[in-house]
A and B are shown apart, each in its own frame.
Chain A
Amino acid sequence: MTADIHNWVQIGSLEDIPQEGARCVKNGDMTIAVFRTASDDVYALEDKCPHRNGPLSQGIVHDGCVTCPLHNWVISLETGTAQGADEGQTLAFPVRLEDGRVLIDLSYSHQAV
């Protein structure tokens, strides 16, 4: 329904995020974790583990996933789904990289509820 509405917001540049690391973006009450992989792909997830709301931004980034710092669930950076036997999903935001600038599509935050 909202598939065609995009709300791209520039949040900073690629250099702002450490490789294999993450930074946070505050969007009102919501915190969004923005991850950068070893190969410089950037992903954005709501900073809330589907297990017990652990801050995913604080986890270890590896293989296109992040391991939650609280109880080690492994969450896909691209889709926000828990891997392996665990079940759950956190909100994933589309990300675009343009000339080193990072943009995320916030229209997706509306689909959350």
Chain B
Amino acid sequence: MTKKKLVIVGNGMAPGRMLEHLFDKDKDAYDVTIFNAEPRVNYNRLMLSPVLSGEKTYEDIITHGDTWYAENGIRLHKSSRISEIDRTGKTVTSENGVTASYDKLVIATGSSPFIIPLPGKDLEGVLTYRDLDDVDRMLAAARGGGRAVVIGGGLLGLEAAAGLKQQGMDVTVLHLMPTLMERQLDPAAGFLLEEEFKSRGIDVLTRANSHEIVDDGTGKVKAIRLDDGTEIEASIVVMAVGIRPSADLARSAGLETNRGILVGDDMRTSDKDIFALGECVEHRGLCYGLVAPLYEMAEVIADNLLEGASEYTGSVTATKLKVTGVDLYSAGDFAEGEDREEIVLRDAAAGVYKRLVLKDNTIIGAVLYGETADGPWFFDLLKKETDVSEMRETLIFGQAYQGGAPLDPTVAVAALPDDAEICGCNGICKGKIVTAIKDKGLSDLDGVRAHTKASASCGTCTGLVEQLMQVTLGDAYNPAAVTPMCGCTHLGHDDVRRLIVSKELKSIPSVMQELEWTTSGGCAKCRPALNYYLVSDWPDEYADDYQSRFINERVHANIQKDGTYSVVPRMWGGMTSSDELRAIADVVDKFDIPAVKCTGGQRIDMLGVKKEDLPAVWEDLGKAGFVSGQAYAKGLRTVKTCVGSDWCRFGTQDSTGLGIKLEKFMWGSWTPAKLKLAVSGCPRNCSEATCKDIGIICVESGYEIHYAGAAGLEIQGTVVLGLVSSEEEVIEYVSALTQMYREQGRYLERIYKWAKRIGHDEIRSQIMDDADKRKAYFERFVFSQKFAQVDPWSERVSGKDKHEFNPMAVLQAEAAE
């Protein structure tokens, strides 16, 4: 019996695997001929990165050497690219003139790197990353040193970047999206990855849009220019922005193609004698870029070549990044959704982040960073759609924690006999503690310490004592006396603030990771708070996250009940002029603003402005010299004044002038809650300074600084901080006090509540008595003002956040009924 002829186009990973299956089943069924455009045998493409980094050589990654082809009687035509398939005559012909006839044909042409059509893309030194030749080119370039710019922060780009760095090049990664590997990773894990790359000395620019590759004048790469004008010098540019199935050959042979070559579940193309395999395939609308699905396809084709009836029904894929020292694994779907639940585990000390996404009690997605050993186990549960409700509590800890003893520690404590010793230092046994809790009605740890001495010495038994209280009191026991910031953490505001500073956390994702947030992205309570703490603690470094701000602070106007906005410009110290009033009147007319009102804060409010009109309103106001009054801000609001010594017959000092100076010095600063000031020219107090957050009462001998008043939900008279003698001192003391509050206040806590918590004595001693402390606070305030005193209105007039103010699309009115 003559053997049937099998021809394979492309000698990549998928057909190599297919042949292994085929020969396993029937060694003699086919006479095999392979054409490969690459000048070599089949090698493990996944391992190109270790070759690039120098951890492996080409020889190490060969899958099938020349002898394997010889032993299996395979004709391998290297460096032979097939350019034509004649389906009627059943032959294929290569560019270099070799023709072979087939009974069955397998097209396995893989895919080719996508080249962004940038000016300069054809320059010498612009490379892609797909095969060994690309690796050789990169290694040659690396020997010349200089900087490599990698476009694309996905799997391939990052592996190339890490390899080139290890080869001694300076490396910059440009990534279009806000976080790395956004297709495989959620933002938190993407952030960790970015930090890891940066710590290796690799520059990472996200949201970076490449504009042009710059010629050095001789046809070689010199630099790359971004849309924002930044230019980065580069001796090579590696494009790793994605792949495209190589379907042209099949398309020109008249086979049905779309993005890839279309196949059915039997892996046949629209011609029953032609199969397609690997990355060039489109199956049920999907093209794959990882080997696992290709291997499944390979097995199906091997069987169908032998008249089997196997079917391929699609795959779920998992990704691992192969950069030495980075452990990262992702699988499935990790988008948020209402029908989904997530389990997050963060272990900051160990640099671990794990997230599982569950739907209907099955795992549908997993992202693991730092510790990936359980990846395959989660992936297996995911693929098998195993019901995980039984192991939910311990699921995230991994396979090792399943089965065996229950993990709940309180169960173990409850089971202890009464005479078991709990506190070794003080020799206190369980029975004594339980009795004290019950008889004395103790409900917190301090109470137990006071009455029994348990855990009052070295403290190592604190956990045990708490569990015991839990067992004894049940729900009545609230272990943490601190109230957590929100449901996303067990830490209170003070702990979070302290840790942000001591651990030098400078972004919301890093706070959430390092402080082990239990949700992946926080909530509407913690995000604005964290944003404030970071603005306050790192004024020069932190990039304000405007999506974590309440709408008023995001668009710099106050939202009204009907969705319109109110606009309140600053009128320094409540003073205005005919020019200003005229400008306001013009704006009101021009934009048809329905209401104008004097506020309780001595300035003018224009109410009912349409959101789309805001930038134009601000532009006109800006021309008249107005800046935002920040009537919406958790920050400095108004400084009310009275007419003072300029006009008033009782005025002792220039209260109006001082108010204006204070407002001009302090505007723009963000504070935990709103901050309102007033300066009165004498104790008659016409500007109501004694119910303000900070108030100044001018007297003959100087200035009495008051603080901690309020007249809103609570009416609260101020207390006196102290008396100073000059305007300069007022500014210094008031700024120092404000800075102390900015650094210690909890988000939304007004100054009177903060003061109640800290104690007036403490505040007075730091601000009035300790000149060094006061000066240090003052300097930190001045420093942060350098970054805060930017008028948000003029910023937006010049285009910032312009998407906020325009609809994304205006559709026809017809669908409106």
Residues of A within 8 A of B (CB): 7, 9, 11-12, 16-21, 23-31, 34, 37-41, 52-55, 58-65, 67, 69-70, 72, 74, 76-79, 81, 106, 109-110
Contact = CB atoms under 8 A, between A and B. Distances in A.
Given A62-B521, A63-B521, 13 more contacts: A18-B803, A25-B808, A39-B187, A39-B334, A53-B563, A60-B524, A60-B548, A62-B527, A67-B524, A69-B559, A76-B338, A78-B337, A109-B816
Contacts of A39: 186-187, 334-336
Contacts of B562: 53
B632 to A, nearest CB: 11
B547 A41 contact: no
Contacts of A79: 338
B398 interface: no
Nearest to A47: B563
B815 A78 contact: no
Closest 9 CB pairs of A and B: A28-B816, A23-B808, A67-B524, A28-B813, A20-B547, A64-B336, A58-B551, A55-B563, A11-B809
Interface in B419-438: none
A11 B810 CA distance: 8
A21 B813 CA distance: 25
B336 A23 contact: no
Nearest to B340: A64
21 contacts: A11-B809, A11-B811, A19-B178, A20-B548, A23-B807, A25-B807, A26-B807, A28-B817, A29-B816, A30-B816, A38-B187, A39-B336, A53-B562, A58-B551, A63-B336, A63-B521, A63-B523, A69-B550, A78-B338, A109-B816, A110-B815
B561 interface: yes
Nearest to B810: A26
A59 B563 CA distance: 11
A78 B335 CA distance: 12
Interface string B790-817: 0000000000000100011111111111
B24 to A, nearest CB: 40
Contacts of A37: 335-336
B522 interface: yes
B803 A60 contact: no
B685 interface: no
A64 B807 contact: no
Interface string B519-557: 111111001100000000000000000011111101100
Size bracket of the B interface: 35 or more
B563 A60 contact: no
A88 to B, nearest CB: 15
Contacts of A25: 807-811
A40 B337 CA distance: 11
Given A60-B528, A69-B551, A27 B816 contact: yes
A65 B187 CA distance: 17
Contacts of A38: 186-187, 336, 520-521
A53 B39 CA distance: 67
Contacts of A61: 547
A72 B524 contact: yes
Nearest to A40: B182
A96 to B, nearest CB: 13
B186 A17 contact: no
A20 to B, nearest CB: 4
A58 B563 contact: yes
B475 interface: no
B770 interface: no
A55 B813 CA distance: 20
B258 to A, nearest CB: 13
A8 B552 CA distance: 33
Contacts of B551: 58-60, 69
B700 interface: no
A54 B563 CA distance: 7
B255 to A, nearest CB: 23
B408 interface: no
B339 interface: yes
A56 to B, nearest CB: 10
A26 to B, nearest CB: 5
B571 to A, nearest CB: 26
B338 A65 contact: yes
Contacts of B552: 69
A63 B815 CA distance: 31
Question: Which of B178, B519, B807, B816 has most chain A Cβ within 10 Å?
Answer: B807
Contacts of A69: 550-552, 559
A74 B803 CA distance: 24
A34 B808 contact: yes
Nearest to B547: A20
Contact of B335 (A11, A41, A62): A41
A77 to B, nearest CB: 7
Contact of B815 (A21, A23, A27): A27
Contacts of A27: 811-813, 815-816
Contacts of A67: 524
Contacts of B563: 53-55, 58
Interface string B326-351: 00000000111111100000000000
Contacts of A81: 338
A58 B614 CA distance: 15
A62 B187 contact: no
A54 B547 CA distance: 18
Contacts of B808: 11-12, 16-17, 23-25, 34
A12 B803 CA distance: 12
A78 B337 CA distance: 7
B522 A62 contact: yes
Contacts of B803: 16-18, 23
Contacts of B547: 18-21, 60-61
A26 B811 CA distance: 6
A106 B812 CA distance: 11
Contacts of B527: 60, 62
A25 B812 CA distance: 11
Given A20-B547, A62-B522, A70 B810 contact: no
A80 to B, nearest CB: 10
A28 B809 contact: no
B811 A77 contact: no
Contacts of A19: 178, 187, 547
A24 B810 CA distance: 9
A70 B561 contact: yes
B230 to A, nearest CB: 19
B811 A52 contact: no
B209 to A, nearest CB: 10
Contacts of A31: 807
A62 B512 CA distance: 14
B337 A41 contact: yes
B809 A63 contact: no
A31 B610 CA distance: 14
Contact of B807 (A24, A40, A72, A78): A24
B206 to A, nearest CB: 11
A26 B561 contact: no
A22 to B, nearest CB: 9
Contacts of A77: 338
Contacts of B816: 27-30, 109
Nearest to A39: B335
A69 B632 CA distance: 13
